[in-house]
Amino acid sequence: MRTAFSALLVIAALLVAAVAGPAMWLQRNIVDESGFVALAGPLGSNKGFQEGASALLSAEATSALNLPGSLNDLAAAVIDDAARGLYTSPGYPAAWSETLSRSHNLTFEAAGNTEVAGDVVLDVEPLVGLIAASVGSDLGITVPLPAEILIRMDEAKVAALLPALTKLGGWSGWLAGAAVVLLALGVLVARGRGAALVLSGVGLAVVALVWLLGSGWVQSTLANLVVGPPIAQQIGVELGALARDSWQSGINMTFLAAALLAVLGVLALIVKRGRTT
């Protein structure tokens, strides 16, 4: 009876852990603003993304900058040059981080507001601000900017998932705690605690293996989920790759924890055998 009850507790712990791990990753890297900025930060230095973003930012700057009519023809070429040279500006890393932060807040605020339709929103005002400063310097004028420059990515499927992801991320701490408690109870209840630890380690390694195999599927799913403009599709592909790389560290840590449990179990079995001989 104790053996069966222990097995049930350990299995329950592993099932909860299988959900808790991705939930913790979501909370730290997607729901949390600073975590998302850190995750998506490398996207800003991706050459392919920069090439696609330059045309978009040039168009947004052209429509957002309130320039005198006499400068419109000249400004178009200056704005385009400034957009293409944006990524060498010393202020670009900070502007990109600010863009990610603003966009995260706007997107999750819309997703959590039942009175408005959730949407994926980019606020590129910090980036256009750099372009405006460059244009103003070249033309010898002060270029006014609106407080925000929003690009709605028209990603209904992605936006629809955000409330559920937010809720799952919020449960991550409880799920992780429940997994630890269930596993501890399963080992304590077991007649052979050493064997229970070994089997727990093997089970946790299986969970990590499932995560490893599933990470590629998640990456491709995220890439295929984004169906908006080309720049949005590119963001989806690149973020999928960054998410997979980020999740790899969690998988490695879980394999390490599994090995530790197995080693502790083997040591417990050796000690027990030594006492009985």
High-pLDDT (> 90) share of the chain, %: 34
| H or E segment and range at residue 269 | helix 230-276
Number of Cβ within a 10 Å radius of residue 193: 18
Distance between CA atoms of 179 and 108, rounded to whole angstroms?
A: 28
Provide the residue type at 34 as one letter.
S
140 φ, ψ (degrees, to nearest 5) = 75, 35
Distance between CA atoms of 211 and 215, rounded to whole angstroms?
A: 6
The secondary structure of 144-172 as a DSSP string is ---S--EEE---HHHHHHHHHHHHHHHTH
Q: Residue 175: is its pLDDT beyond 90?
A: yes
Residue 58 — left, alpha, or beta (φ > 0 → left; ψ -120 to 50 → alpha)? alpha
**Candidate from 26-35, 59-68, 103-112, 220-229 with smallest mean pLDDT:** 220-229
Compute the radius of gyration of the chain from its Cα atoms.
25
Residue 140 — left, alpha, or beta (φ > 0 → left; ψ -120 to 50 → alpha)? left
Distance between CA atoms of 230 and 223, rounded to whole angstroms?
A: 12
pLDDT higher for 37 or 80? 37
Residue 65 — left, alpha, or beta (φ > 0 → left; ψ -120 to 50 → alpha)? beta
Q: Any idea where the domains of the chain sit in the sequence?
A: 2-31+160-269, 46-156
Mean pLDDT to the nearest integer, 157-170 = 83
Mean pLDDT to the nearest integer, 62-90 = 77
Mean pLDDT to the nearest integer, 162-180 = 91
pLDDT tens-digit series, residues 191-208: 888 889 999 999 999 999
153 φ, ψ (degrees, to nearest 5) = -85, -5
**pLDDT at res. 151:** 81
| H or E segment and range at residue 122 | strand 121-123
* Rounded (5°) CA angle 179-247-19: 30
Distance between CA atoms of 113 and 123, rounded to whole angstroms?
A: 18
pTM: 0.85
Mean of per-residue pLDDT scores for the chain: 84
